[in-house]
Structure 1
Amino acid sequence: NEESWNIQGATLQMLAQYEESYKCYEKSLDINPNYVQALKNKNRLISIFKQSKCPKCGQEVEPKDRFCMNCGYKFK
């Protein structure tokens, strides 16, 4: 069901397996296009990929980084 796919996507996202995570969110939304939690998680994942600089110091960062190696800023 949509909830199971969403949970699997969130788990994979925490493991920095972003491509597989995205696919799970898509499957969740195929089942229920209005499933809010999957929409939020998918949008959060997309924003991770768009984030290429630390908002605090401007240092280049990778999507998988959980914090900035330069200033220590923790990404959400």
Structure 2
Amino acid sequence: MRIVLAYSILLFVGLGLSQVLPALLGDARDAVATTVRLLTMTGLAFIMIRVGFEFHIDKSNLRQYGWDYVVAFTAASFPWVFVT
């Protein structure tokens, strides 16, 4: 329960900082935004690689993987299709 509380606090702190920092940074905003974007993408790539290391395909159940792909594809693409 402490971990959930800690992550919730970090989430709200990050949300607050994301609203306050652009006004405080002034001209350095673009440089900081580029740095944050680079660090975020690096962290996301690290997470995705770690997930990939632990992924094992059960070849006896390929039909379920096909359906999981359809569900994941629609969940990821529908917001883009209907919003843009």
Per the normalisation by structure 1, the TM-score is 0.29
Tell me: higher relative CO, structure 1 or 2? Use CA pairs within 8 A at least 6 residues apart.
Answer: 1
